Structures are given as C-alpha cells and as structure tokens.
DNA sequence: GTCTATACATAGATAGAC
DNA sequence: GTCTATCTATGTATAGAC
C-alpha cells in the first residue's frame, strides 16, 4: 500500500466530516438547512485549523475566525455555543475518524509483521491526510478542560496500546526479538508524531510520505526482527 | 556517563542562568540591586514555566504571573519591558545554555560512535535538567514573532546538523552503514524530543532517564552499525 | 440565516503613592 | 523597589435589524 492507494480507500472528505459533526451536534447548531450547515462548518473548521497552525486556539480571536471564514461574528455563534465548544467539536470529530480508520486498517493484516507495517503506514498516511488536525490536537491538548484532556490522553494511549499488542504478539510467536516493548512502542509513536509535527522540515528536504513510512518500518524491523 | 554524573559536571543552576540574563539585559531591567534582580528573575521564570506547562504563554495573564511569582503586576514590569520581551528573554537564554553544553559535551568524544553516544546522552540529560524550558520552547515556537521563530528553527536545525555530521563521519570511516542520513538524524531528533514532551508518560511507566538514553542509543546502533 | 452594533469581561501597561 | 489604582485595548457573546 502507498499513500495514493490509501487515500482512495479511505474517504476522509470534508463534507463527510462536517456531516458527522452536524449529526452529533444538532442541539447546539441553530441553523436548520443542512446544506448551509455543512458548507459553513467546512469554512469554520478549515479557517480554525489554518489560523491555529500559526498561533494557539486561545490566541485566535473570534474576530480572526470571522475574517478568515467569511462569516460574521454573530453568524459564527449559530454554529457553536461558545469558543470552547468549537474546540471540543473539532477535537472529538477528528478523534473519532482517526481511531476508526486505524483499527479498520490494522485488521487487514494477519501476521504480527504485516500488522506492524500496516499500523505504521496507516498512521502516517492518516496523519498526512489530516495533518492540520493532528498538529492542532497535539498542540492544544494541554489547554483543554479536564474532561477533554483526559479523552485526548486516552486516545493517545489507545494508539500506543495497539503497537504494544502487535509487538507482544510478534515476540510470543518468536518472530520479534524480546525487546523492551514499552520503549519500542514509545519510540515508534515518537517517530510517527514527528511526521505531522515537522511537516515543514520534511517538505523542505523533499522527503515524501512514502519515503518516511518506509524508513520508520525499516527502523522498527532493525530493532525487532530476529 | 550517567545522568547523576552529568548533573555534577554541568552546572545549570538557576542563579547562574538568572545572572546571565541580567548581564544580557541590563538596559531593560530597571531594578539596580543585583541580588534582588537574580532573586526575582528566578521567581518570574519559574512561575512562567510552571504556568505554561498547563496553558499557553499567551493564555497566561500578567495577573496569573503576579499571583504565582508573588510580585505585583507593577513590579513585574521592572524586570521586562512587556510580555513579549519576557518570552524572548526566557527563550534566548535557554537556547544559549543548551547549545553551549551540547557542543562542549560532544567535543569529548573521539570516534563517531563515541560522539554519537555522547550526543544522544547529553541531549537527553540536558532536556531532563531543563525539562520545563525545552517543553516551553517546543510548544511556544509557532506563536513567536518572526525573528524569534527563525532563531528557534535555526537552533533546531543546528542540533540536527550535529547528528548529521557525526553520522556522515561514521559512514566515511566505514563504521556506520550507508543509511539515509537525513532520515536517520530526523528520527533520532524525534526520539530525543519525546523524552521532554512526554515526561508524564515515562514517569508513570517508571522509565528512568538512563533507561531511555540507553534505548535510543540501542535503536541508533541497530540501524547504523555494520 | 446573516449582519451590525453593543454590552460586558478581561487583558496589558503605566502613573504615582508608599 | 514595590504596590495600588486606573487607563485603554481587545476579546467574547448577544440582541435586534435586515
């Protein structure tokens, strides 16, 4: 699997995402016409993620968002109750998609080695397709209210647990060396995160998403394979 | 070298840091008594880094800082011209120390392998000794004014260049395999960053700084050594 | 549905008393 | 040197016109 295939297979269109947000937040969205909602939610979320790649969510004012999205300040409040709810909206929806796609993709593998490769590729490809969202989540995590912060950490540990399980299975089947599993999974996660956190660096150096994925797989195989 | 030895060897005391800040910023600091300045700069910087481990620098109000540092809002402005200058003060001083210590430490090694090990250890140990500062820099980088942002990126690339040079030297001397050097240095940097960005995770899992350093060295040797 | 105008809160910064 | 009081700017949120 390469990135272009992944993108075809996994449809992460903005319309789909906005549609799901609408479903899950009918109460707090005051506008009734579905088309309008989807159209404007896309504008709002795009603008938010764009602004927040340069400054923090807290530093983004509703005035900024109004200017960037093209909606007036008043109109914005027809789509979310307050600024904090907008943040939660974006985070929860992204989390839902990311967890779903990752779990689906890994299920396609049979051997631990195949699963490991699939896990690495789908995580990197997913973070490539949703780069601004991944970046946003990482960066904003600590500014969240307690509940939301807890959910973010849970989601992070859940992903890591997937890696830990795969590695453990490989060790049990004598395919992988008996390494420190916690540390192996941790450094893997660190490498995966670097892809979306340092996108500018890899872009400048002309490292493609497929190059990066292959290299991370190579590193993990170097330490794990017998 | 283990962490406890490193700490003895490299004196990164708060008094020393504050003293250097005073020297470099005599113009903007209105208070004349040196002892007072050092005493209060420590309070201010500690409080800032502490608050900013939970929310962004921009989200920290001068009122927050006043409460946490014990100085009144008015008094704070005797130590920096405005909030942005406080940010620059903290960042530039940390950068100066980090670059200096790293360069010094690596110079102690002779062979590329020895240098690589020293570079990894001193970076991890340094980020352990200055954890709040490293975290702060990483997180605040994108909210900085253009100039300061440029300096942060330069500092990041400078560190990475150190790794690239060591790896290239090793390849030239046929000690290391002919790997993709850029990618090898990048994933190394990613692993180093994880230590200070995910301090809570490693603490919960009882991974010591020495354990982590040894594992990162092990990973790099797995992919590089012939 | 969306906009403009505005109320209300909180922030950074300064002046002058102590 | 430090504090209190206060000015001014900027931000969120809402009400009511269109």
**Residue A182 near residue B207, CB atoms below 8 Å:** yes
Interface of B with A (CB under 8 A): 53-56, 58-59, 139, 142-143, 180, 182-183, 186-187, 189-191, 193-194, 198, 201-202, 205, 207, 211-212, 215-216, 218-219, 222-223
Question: pLDDT at position A1, please?
Answer: 92
For A139, the closest chain B residue by CA position comes to: B139
Instruction: Please indicate whether, in this complex, the C-beta atoms of A139 and B143 are within 8 angstroms of each other.
Output: no
* CB-CB neighbors (< 8 A) of B58 in chain A: 55-56, 58-59
What tens digit of pLDDT does each residue of A21-33 get?
999 999 899 999 9
Select from B19, B27, B66 the least CA-distant residue to B47. Answer: B66
Instruction: Please indicate whether, in this complex, the C-beta atoms of A183 and B56 are within 8 angstroms of each other.
Output: no
Distance from CA of A143 to the nearest CA of B (A): 5
Dihedral through CA B208, CA B112, CA B130, CA B51, nearest 10? -90
Scanning residues 49 through 78 of protein chain B, those with a beta carbon under 7 Å from any atom of strand C turn out to be 60-63, 73-74, 77
For residue B110, is pLDDT > 90? yes
Question: pLDDT at position A184, please?
Answer: 98
The correct CATH number of B109-226 out of 3.40.50.720, 3.40.50.150, 1.10.645.10, 1.10.357.10 is 1.10.357.10
**Reported confidence tier of residue B12, pLDDT bands at 50, 70, 90:** confident
For residue A12, is pLDDT > 90? no
Report the first-to-last Cα separation within chain A, whole angstroms: 24
CATH 1.10.357.10 maps onto chain A at 109-226
Question: Scanning the structure block, which residue is given the tokens 């993990």?
Answer: A220
Higher pLDDT, B72 or B12: B72
Instruction: Please indicate whether, in this complex, the C-beta atoms of B186 and A180 are within 8 angstroms of each other.
Output: no
Distance from CA of A194 to the nearest CA of B (A): 6
The whole-number Å distance from B82's CA to D6's C1' is 18
What tens digit of pLDDT does each residue of B178-193 get?
999 999 999 999 999 9
What tens digit of pLDDT does each residue of B112-133 get?
999 999 999 999 999 999 999 9
**Residue B188 near residue B213, CB atoms below 8 Å:** no
For B213, the closest chain A residue by CA position comes to: A183
Share of chain A above pLDDT 70, in %: 100
Question: pLDDT at position B102, please?
Answer: 93
């Amino acid at each position: 699997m390469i990135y272009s295939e992944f993108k075809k297979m996994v449809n992460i269109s903005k319309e789909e995402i906005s549609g799901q947000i609408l479903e899950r937040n009918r109460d707090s969205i005051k506008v009734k016409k579905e088309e309008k909602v989807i159209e404007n939610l896309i504008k709002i979320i795009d603008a938010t993620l764009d602004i927040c790649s340069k400054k923090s969510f807290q530093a983004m004012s509703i005035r900024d968002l109004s200017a960037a999205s093209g909606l007036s300040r008043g109109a914005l409040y027809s789509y979310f109750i307050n600024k904090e709810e907008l943040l939660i909206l974006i985070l929860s929806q992204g989390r839902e998609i990311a967890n779903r796609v990752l779990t689906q993709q890994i299920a396609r593998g049979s051997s631990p080695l195949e699963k490991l490769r699939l896990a690495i590729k789908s995580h990197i490809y997913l973070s490539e397709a949703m780069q601004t969202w991944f970046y946003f989540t990482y960066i904003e995590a600590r500014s969240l209210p307690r509940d939301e912060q807890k959910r973010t950490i849970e989601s992070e540990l859940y992903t890591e647990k997937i890696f830990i399980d795969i590695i453990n299975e490989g060790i049990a089947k004598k395919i992988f060396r008996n390494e420190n599993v916690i540390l192996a999974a941790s450094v893997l996660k660190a490498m995966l995160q670097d892809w979306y956190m340092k996108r500018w660096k890899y872009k400048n150096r002309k490292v493609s998403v497929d190059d990066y994925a292959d290299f991370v797989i190579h590193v993990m195989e170097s330490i794990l394979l017998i």
